Structure 1
């Protein structure tokens, strides 16, 4: 590649070119540099890092939005939380003071560790020396409050019983929301999908059965991704802006600076060579859903990649580290809602008042967390399909695509139950309510949502209903 052209492209696309720079003389990487340069200049995507070399320089801002930043949401993305909420919120505050821009939303990519009490602590799947309450308990007890709306998925180190009761999602503390074992949410027009847990070949085709009291085996299997959750996500047809997963989609490492990754994590080499690094099922979701952004954690390293789809679109992949000093565990991005229906604003009012999604840099947007109409219709269409088998199944799960009747049912249920309707373009969403103290009763949150959509109870949600067949071996 001509050195002048290479230098010119580096100036245009900024530090993100480091992903490909070391291999820019290779034809494919040179082509990707050209594509990234054109893409960013045409659609107003700007990549840049914090120029101030201070203690908070690990809060890098990747501005991925319109040239008119008034419509963008300032989104903080965090890797593995491990209960370190104080440090995460402090890092966000430092960024806000330095940049003069308020963060609207925090997305956490797993290992959140919402530990309420000793029972949760004992159920945490991790070595004994790491079993600590950390910060979450103070937010749960309202001794502290979250300064920014926080949405998280589960990883492989969680309190399984707490989040089992919030299978469909719910509040774990004021202003802190669990997306669910799988799900789709909407925030001011941004469509955020995700799946909790990590991939395990032996557990993937099992059903849902883990309940208190947990064994050491069920503490781990409770956060193995299930086929049922992946198949539901595969039914999504409307565009997804952001996808959250704890482990990486398999093969994504080949679309970034692999040489640098292996320098930092040399023990990844064997897994990469055997194609076992990451999750093959979320790779399928990456190819099918083609989200604009994909955020992950789990491997405790910051990594960026640009994944090209066969339709010419790209997914920007970002994995972040765990919360440690001088580690890259947080990044702030400026992202605009997808303009899929010719609309550039969304109604996202607080209580009865609505405002457009604008930010004057010094104030935080009025963010509105909403249920997703298509996702609710998918749940209704497959309400009797949830598997409960404890052993792997050889029979693939077949799910139903939502029908027009399913959509009408969802609309009717939300409208007649008094839920606030939020519009973005031609799409409709329903505001997720929070009532004081709701987080203290996760079971009631789940039951209310299931009653709303007519979803049946089962042995996983109510183990007391379980009438398992038992085999007694007699000598």
Structure 2
């Protein structure tokens, strides 16, 4: 299977797909899969655009909305993880993954999928210590703080990924694994990115949880982005025979190394389509009780506790999950647009609506089938409880009960249930067990009235699509994602409609 790997996409889908089609014409070989390592920017409209953590002057609709609206269709199956510049309100609808547009699949907060026998795992977001142990409490409309913390990696996702067994062919992260530069040409990296020197010296470059995952699983390939440069490394397994081939790629810009093509052996008797990973599904089911939508510190189980702390599933547990999916692990192609797409031809100004937490039917189908909680449902329950906590105990609360099957999203019936707010979420100190039991048995959804409303391409023998070297790299701060950065000295050379968003490493 021929796989194209993209660094930071930054919304430039048209250019990326055109580059892939150009390569196919050059060597006459079809590319079967595209993988993007974050900063995908799946902005559907102006509301989504304002849910991105970038200064207003860098906000640009780019071209994703064309694929969302159906104006264009992705010519190759595309899988991506989230970075630190995303339409967070949209991706938050798909915490366990889903189609953001036809043929374009988001892997979720963390996830594992299979494509023709190739096992692909990934973790979205970037690591920040102050958010590490918190639950997924953020909900739109975001504050200046939650606009950024919403894409920070949480300990729950890393804990779940550590439960995996067996081999992993490809692992994706936006962050580089911490210390990865020691396994490659560090001096060469510092010649082009001298401002990395202090972070490397302080062992502060990259994500320590990602390095723990790499050293635990040693996947065949590990791809990253974020730091906007190409860097390769080989990480050998200690006291073992495995070697992980690491590659970080640049952002999609002229004269940048933003795309790499590789060939991996796959099961030729299987179609090139997405399938769920049975072990990952079982881990999600077994660790559902660890999900938190509260801001406070949330600890993962360990050997010092009284209960279970290893959730690598046994064969019997996996068989039970397989039955839930009727022995069919194919990812259903159940994408449906949920909001109005951006229309540049519209004469009157398109209004920017206040973003709200929405329930995506794909997540509803997935959670109902697997029997786990939808974080969005829990967030809306908590929100509706906060809104009505001053009302009397016997006041009716309208809840939406959604009945679905795995591959059918059309059969949705609405009913009403009577539930007092203190039964759903009595205090900040109480855990969410009652909410989970209620949501799992009836699959409750939120209060209806409140919430429904082209570069020059050259080919190398290695398969790399090289957009030739740009030796005049800018000095960019890589400390915190919301700090100021220095501009690139050559940014005026390319007159492109959305060049501004690429003129920094934000």
Q: Same fold (TM over 0.5)?
A: yes
Asked whether 1:276 is paired with 2:204, we answer yes
Unaligned runs of 5+ in 1: 1-72, 338-344, 350-366, 420-429
How much does 1:368 deviate? 1.3
1 CA distance for matches of 2:165 and 2:248? Answer: 25
Any conservation in 2 of the 1:271–1:277 contact (CA below 8 Å)?
A: yes
1 CA distance for matches of 2:300 and 2:320? Answer: 30
Q: 1:364-418 CA distances to partner (integer Å, 9 max, x unpaired)?
A: xxx11110011011111112111223033467674633244421221111117xx
How much does 1:433 deviate? 1.4
* Pairs within 5 Å for 1:239-388: 239-310=167-238, 311-337=240-266, 345-349=267-271, 367-388=272-293
2 CA distance for matches of 1:403 and 1:281? Answer: 25
Any conservation in 1 of the 2:83–2:126 contact (CA below 8 Å)?
A: yes
How much does 1:460 deviate? 6.2
Any conservation in 2 of the 1:385–1:399 contact (CA below 8 Å)?
A: no
Summarize the Cα distance change of 1:266–1:198 in structure 2 as closer, same or farther, 3 Å threshold. Answer: same
Query: Which residue is equivalent to 1:447?
Result: 364
Indicate which of 427, 431, 435 corresponds to 2:330.
431
Any conservation in 2 of the 1:296–1:319 contact (CA below 8 Å)?
A: yes
Any conservation in 1 of the 2:128–2:153 contact (CA below 8 Å)?
A: yes
2 CA distance for matches of 1:193 and 1:280? Answer: 17
How much does 1:437 deviate? 2.9
Any conservation in 2 of the 1:162–1:442 contact (CA below 8 Å)?
A: no
2 CA distance for matches of 1:454 and 1:318? Answer: 37
* Pairs within 5 Å for 1:225-236: 225-236=153-164
Question: RMSD between aligned alpha carbons?
Answer: 1.9
Query: Which residue is equivalent to 1:164?
Result: 92
2 CA distance for matches of 1:395 and 1:307? Answer: 28
2 CA distance for matches of 1:332 and 1:374? Answer: 28
Summarize the Cα distance change of 1:247–1:395 in structure 2 as closer, same or farther, 3 Å threshold. Answer: closer
Larger mean CA deviation between 161-170 and 396-405 belongs to 396-405
1 CA distance for matches of 2:296 and 2:335? Answer: 40
How much does 1:131 deviate? 0.9
Any conservation in 2 of the 1:208–1:460 contact (CA below 8 Å)?
A: no
- TM-score for the superposition, normalised by structure 1: 0.73
Query: Which residue is equivalent to 2:500?
Result: none
Unaligned runs of 5+ in 2: 303-308, 340-357, 387-426, 430-506
Q: 1:70-108 CA distances to partner (integer Å, 9 max, x unpaired)?
A: xxx100000000100011011111111111111000000
How much does 1:435 deviate? 3.4
Summarize the Cα distance change of 1:461–1:89 in structure 2 as closer, same or farther, 3 Å threshold. Answer: farther
Query: Which residue is equivalent to 1:76?
Result: 4
How much does 1:348 deviate? 2.2
Asked whether 1:400 is paired with 2:311, we answer yes
How much does 1:195 deviate? 0.2
Query: Which residue is equivalent to 2:25?
Result: 97
1 CA distance for matches of 2:24 and 2:268? Answer: 24
Summarize the Cα distance change of 1:250–1:439 in structure 2 as closer, same or farther, 3 Å threshold. Answer: farther
1 CA distance for matches of 2:64 and 2:324? Answer: 34
2 CA distance for matches of 1:87 and 1:459? Answer: 33
Q: 1:283-341 CA distances to partner (integer Å, 9 max, x unpaired)?
A: 0000001100000000000011111111121000000000110100001111113xxxx
